[in-house]
Structure 1
């Protein structure tokens, strides 16, 4: 089966590409949108994703990471101290998913959202679509190649 490509957003004060570089691997959790969760569940080990820094002074694609292992119930949904706690979730019925991810590459500089919006060939990338707020989204092989090319200029 062909490798799939994704984009996943994280606030860098929670988990940045540089944190992942230092840690080598981390748990990706806290996704509380059903469509984004379904994308996470459909990922395969070895799939690559753009690591997008969001809700920060310089939002943009900061690097590349990889999906490791299989999806599992997100433990933050059950933790009352967690910002991502879901009072409706239980051990028996936890609708939320977490994934383990590993570091691949940090770009020399963040590719800003404005650059991505202006780039020919990325018009259909969900990230640049008006009103798109998903934290996890698919990326086509063509879009992947364009963004990697921009990052390595």
Structure 2
């Protein structure tokens, strides 16, 4: 899940102890949010300024209607911080690693919420200095 640092930062997520992930206005990204299950771990990705995977969040509440447009196609998901990566993983490092060439972040860079397969998850964690696996609900 990506955000611009001026909109919402990792530090703000930690201070807030969680947030609703709102503002998604793309059908593919919304479909990805609808597929998330409570307890799933997701990456927090800072885009635009020094783009990098910053940390891991968990889904605290599965997709629900946007309260501002309850009959609309877009949803919100509540997330909570789990932990920062020991080292942020810059987009340049992700693009430079040929094992990640088919990652949606590389192929569809404008998509704000995208799936990350298990192999890609492990590789990004390793690049960030984290050795443990992914939690699925």
Q: Is the 8 A contact 1:51 1:61 kept in 2?
A: yes
Which has the higher Rg, Structure 1 or Structure 2? 1
**Are residues 1:66 and 2:58 paired?**
yes
Query: Within 5 Å, which residues of 2 pair with 1:69-80?
Result: 69-75=61-67, 78=68
How does the TM-score come out when normalised to structure 1?
0.79
Distance 1:105 1:133 in 2: 25
Structure 1 counterpart of 2:76: 98
Q: Is the 8 A contact 1:50 1:64 kept in 2?
A: yes
5+ residue gaps, structure 2: 131-137
Distance 1:132 1:26 in 2: 23
Q: CA deviation at 1:68?
A: 1.2
Q: CA deviation at 1:107?
A: 2.4
Distance 2:17 2:99 in 1: 32
Distance 2:4 2:89 in 1: 15
Structure 1 counterpart of 2:22: 29
Query: Within 5 Å, which residues of 2 pair with 1:1-150?
Result: 8-56=1-49, 58-75=50-67, 78=68, 89=69, 91=70, 93-129=71-107, 131-150=108-127
5+ residue gaps, structure 1: 1-7, 79-88
Distance 1:107 1:114 in 2: 16
Q: CA deviation at 1:70?
A: 2.2
Q: CA deviation at 1:67?
A: 0.7
Cα RMSD between the aligned structures?
1.5
